[in-house]
Structure 1
């Protein structure tokens, strides 16, 4: 089996009943701070950072959450996916040579970060794993728009 291409930990995506309360909890009690906010299709995703640890906060509604999506289940209070960073998503997929079950993507998010690209795969137990390249935090000035 080939070795991973410089793979490193990225984040855990969390589904939140109340995104603001979840953000307040992790910032107040565990020392996280906002690293990025992405708004698309009427939804806001907040990235929190503490050192090299990231949390990705997704707003969810128990009554309207579908049972599962290609990027992970959307049930409030549950992890949505695990995520890892690589230098090159296409090279990662080429090395896998079709042996990985892709649930979504690869997709590009150049409108948010030039070069940000992601693919979602599933592990043998069905856990969704995000493989991404090119993510970076926002500057303090950029984050001020979302205060």
Structure 2
């Protein structure tokens, strides 16, 4: 398999300037590229490390209720997530910009010192802020899952 690196998440925004300010001020992103599409159209890439947020101007309003708690449970993106050394300090630093939707919650039963809080960005996207998460040393494989095509073939036999 050829090398693959995670690149970006694209966000549709009603107010690109507010979204840019939120992620540059609170999560260390910086402008990486602005593409002028003519008229009022543009695409703005924000970068942190090797990961980008790609911001588009939303063309429509959403008919979906804003996500709550740690994000929607329907298929699709649940939330964005960032690691910090101390979430209490991060929340204090963010002040009123930290609209908490859930937590802070401690997950010491799973990983000692793991603590998480979820906040809402200016567009309503849920953003997880965690401290203390570490990878598991020996992750078991996923059990085999029947694909819809395999299930349909088995049903016709």
TM-score normalised to the size of structure 1?
Answer: 0.50
Report if the CA contact (8 A) 2:119-2:128 is conserved.
yes
Bigger Rg, structure 1 or 2: 2
As a proportion of its length, which structure holds more strand? 1
What is the Cα deviation at residue 69 of structure 1? 3.5
Matched residue SS, 1:136: coil
**CA 1:107 to 1:125, structure 2 compared with 1: closer, same or farther past 3 Å?**
same
Alignment partner of 1:106 is 2:104: yes
Residue aligned with 1:80, SS: coil
CA distance in structure 2 between the aligned counterparts of 1:102 and 1:137, rounded to whole angstroms: 26
- Contact preservation (8 Å) 1:68, 1:74: no
Deviation at 1:145, TM superposition (A): 8.7
Question: CA contact under 8 A between 2:67 and 2:125: conserved in structure 1?
Answer: no
Larger RCO (alpha carbons 8 Å, 6+ apart): 1
Tell me the SS of whatever aligns to 2:93. helix
Structure 2: segments with no counterpart, 5+ residues = 1-20, 30-49, 52-65, 144-157
The root-mean-square deviation of aligned C-alpha atoms, in Å, is 3.1
After the TM superposition, list the runs of 4 or more consecutive aligned residues in structure 1 that deviate by more than 2 angstroms: 143-147
After superposition, what is the alpha-carbon deviation per residue over 1:50-94, rounded to whole angstroms, capped at 9, x for unaligned? xx99xxxxxxxxxxxxx8441001111x10000000000011011
Number of the residue aligned with 2:77 = 79
Runs of 5+ unmatched residues, structure 1: 9-51, 54-66
- TM-score of the superposition, structure 2-length normalised? 0.47
